[in-house]
Chains A and B, each alone.
Chain A
Amino acid sequence: MSERLRRLHRARPRSRFVRASAAVGGLCTAYVWCSGAVEAGDFLSARRRENLVRFLTEDSVPFPLRGEGFDLAGAWSWAGEVLGGRGLQAAVATVAIATVAIALAGVLSGCLAPLAAATVATERPVEPAAGGGRPAWRALRLIVRAGMIVMRSIPEYVLAFLLLAVLGPNHAWPAVLALALHNGAILGRLGAEAVENLEPGPLRSLRGLGASRRSILAAGVFPLALGNYLLYFFYRFETCVREATVLGMLGVVSLGFYIQDARAKLYYDEMLLLIGLGSVIVLAADWVSSRARRYLRSGV
């Protein structure tokens, strides 16, 4: 019996790849923490502690409240000034950047997704043999897909940084374009998957009626894939708002700009206040996008 147990145990199906991946991950983690590449001990050194204490007890306290002159009314008017003035203006700009960017990303991904989907971008769309196709179609798909991989692998922040050099700093385009390109590529991939996962039946019957590629796209693919696609879309909107906040630190006028400004002046109290405002905007966007997704799920 125990011989048989051993034999069965040896013959059990298992994935070397998963085990090897887990081992590599574990070893890397252990090495990173043990080798001293991350100065975790330094965190507790007297200098860091001093720094931390000063930050918490002095720098981050609103300046009218510091020291003897504990001025609560002054603190209120200071917070109102910061939040109501540039804070509000920058918050609106942040949301606006994210909204324009996600709309452009939607348009971009709507163009890219059919070109990357193996069931559509082929000489005989949606037919059972689809997926291969002539080399020209295959090359097209490959190029679109590779382009999307590149666009989504470059962080938005780097993209915006490079665009800023090319387009100049006096308008929001670098941030908008960086977000639109990055998210367009991500949504394009998800959209292509949504298109490829469509039930082939209805599309084939359209094809059987002699519909052209364009009318199949307009009448079949887009309406059918839209539901799943929109779920991703609103999920990305939240991410866009989060990123739009930060892109300001490069010099575009969103919240990040004033955060960076306060930071450069060492006004840490103001910086904290603005980061809090950014957090509120992101939470609001999170709420909006989850409401939109629930609204979509609960009916057509």
Chain B
Amino acid sequence: MSAETLAARPSPLSRRGRLLLGLLLAAAAAWATLGLAPSDALPGEAGRGILRLFLEGALSPALTYEGSDVPADAPPLLARVAGALWRTVVFAVAGLSLSLVIGVVLGFLGARSWWEDDERECAVRARARAPVRRVLAAVHLSVRVTIALMRSVHELLWAVLLLAALGLTSFSAVIAIAIPYGGTLAKVFSEMLDECPRDTVRSLRAIGARGVSVFAWGLLPRAMGDMSAYAFYRFECAVRSSAILGFFGYPTIGYYLRLSAENVHYREVWTYLYALLALVGLLELWSSRLRRRVVMR
């Protein structure tokens, strides 16, 4: 039987079914590789004690320091929480604004809809444009590779790298956020630009508009709503990333959370957690309201 007749035969499983089956097998294999014992997923004797302490903390988050070993010059706990929260936001804002610049520039270069037009052009003109297109295609490809590389390293790993290269400075935290986020924004922006309906582009070309005008009038405004909604969503993520950067010594909320947890001050941990939750929840409310306004179809 040739490959074609094999492919044409109706398969007993749908594509979804095959994917799900494959996933199940992969998960079973992965489970075996890791040697996971179901009993280990539940806390042991010591773990249960910690868990109890931890859950009790949820009901009575600390308003003042739990321990007695507080340095004399330490600010009140709530002031510390507020400060940490503020610095978390500062890093997120700085990181995201930098990544927006990266994302817009690389997103534009990584999109092809502004130079690759689908008009059934006459052969003479197409030949004349061919060298320009080859250059643009090369730029496009190299930008896509750059974007993929930026994205493929987690922000914490960028932070680790930058800590080694620059030392502990707030700017390295900002760059650590800005690189992978810039890559992600660029990828999503370029996809949004490329997936825009083409009717406006065609109609603007048909009345003689240049490439730049077509992009600025026909593509950008259309994609703008989705792009700003997505950027805001990424801000939420940036706040979370900025929070965990604290685990590596930056003065964001993760730093204090880790300290408190290592001192087994779980009521303080909950104060930090609640503060983070409130911030993220607030941003989520804001972003869903904004999305309703800007993404209109």
A and B touch in the complex (CB under 8 A): yes
Q: In the assembled complex, which residues on chain B have CB atoms less than 8 Å from the CB atom of A69? A: none
Is the CB of A263 closer than 8 A to any CB of chain B?
Answer: yes
Is the CB of A87 closer than 8 A to any CB of chain B?
Answer: no
A249 to B155, alpha carbons, bound, how many Å?
13
A166 to B273, alpha carbons, bound, how many Å?
17
A95 to B34, alpha carbons, bound, how many Å?
10
Query: Is there contact, CB below 8 Å, between A161 and B290?
Result: no
Query: Is there contact, CB below 8 Å, between A263 and B164?
Result: yes
A225 to B94, alpha carbons, bound, how many Å?
39
Query: Is there contact, CB below 8 Å, between A40 and B171?
Result: yes
Q: Mark B262-290, 1 if CB is under 8 A from A, else 0.
A: 00000001000100110011001010011
Q: In the assembled complex, which residues on chain B have CB atoms less than 8 Å from the CB atom of A18? A: 290, 293-294
Distance to closest chain B CB from A101 (angstroms): 9
By the criterion of a CB under 8 Å from any partner CB, how many residues of chain B are at the interface? 72
Given A55-B165, A150-B277, A166-B54, also A246-B43 (CB < 8 A): no
Query: Is there contact, CB below 8 Å, between A17 and B290?
Result: yes
Q: In the assembled complex, which residues on chain A have CB atoms less than 8 Å from the CB atom of B15? A: 295-296, 299-300
Query: Is there contact, CB below 8 Å, between B90 and A32?
Result: yes
Q: In the assembled complex, which residues on chain B have CB atoms less than 8 Å from the CB atom of A32? A: 90, 93-94, 97
Query: Is there contact, CB below 8 Å, between A171 and B165?
Result: no
Distance to closest chain B CB from A60 (angstroms): 8
Q: In the assembled complex, which residues on chain B have CB atoms less than 8 Å from the CB atom of A292? A: 19
A80-124 residues with Cβ-Cβ distance < 8 A to B are: 92-93, 95-97, 99-100, 102-103, 106
Cβ 8 A contact of A149, one of B24, B34, B281: B281
Query: Is there contact, CB below 8 Å, between A17 and B293?
Result: yes
Distance to closest chain B CB from A191 (angstroms): 14
Query: Is there contact, CB below 8 Å, between B44 and A177?
Result: no
Is the CB of A132 closer than 8 A to any CB of chain B?
Answer: no
Given A168-B44, A283-B152, also A226-B290 (CB < 8 A): no
By the criterion of a CB under 8 Å from any partner CB, how many residues of chain A are at the interface? 76
Distance to closest chain A CB from B237 (angstroms): 9
Most buried by B among A42, A96, A227, A278: A96
Is the CB of B254 closer than 8 A to any CB of chain A?
Answer: yes
- What are 19 A-B interface contacts by the 8 Å CB criterion? A37-B94, A39-B171, A52-B166, A95-B30, A100-B30, A100-B31, A149-B281, A149-B284, A153-B281, A154-B276, A161-B261, A165-B50, A166-B47, A166-B54, A167-B47, A171-B35, A172-B36, A249-B156, A283-B152
Q: Which 6 A-B pairs have the closest CB atoms?
A: A96-B30, A103-B27, A99-B30, A279-B152, A153-B280, A55-B165
List A residues at the B interface (Cβ < 8 Å): 15, 17-18, 21, 28-29, 32-33, 37-40, 42-43, 47-48, 51-52, 55-56, 59, 92-93, 95-97, 99-100, 102-103, 106, 149-150, 153-155, 157-158, 161-162, 165-168, 171-173, 176-177, 226-227, 230, 242-243, 245-246, 249, 256, 259-260, 263, 268, 271-272, 275, 278-280, 282-283, 286, 292, 295-296, 299-300
Q: List 18 additional contacts besides A153-B284, A158-B244, A278-B154; criterion CB under 8 Å.
A: A17-B289, A18-B290, A18-B293, A37-B90, A38-B91, A39-B169, A42-B171, A43-B169, A99-B27, A155-B243, A166-B47, A167-B43, A171-B35, A177-B41, A243-B154, A263-B164, A279-B153, A296-B15
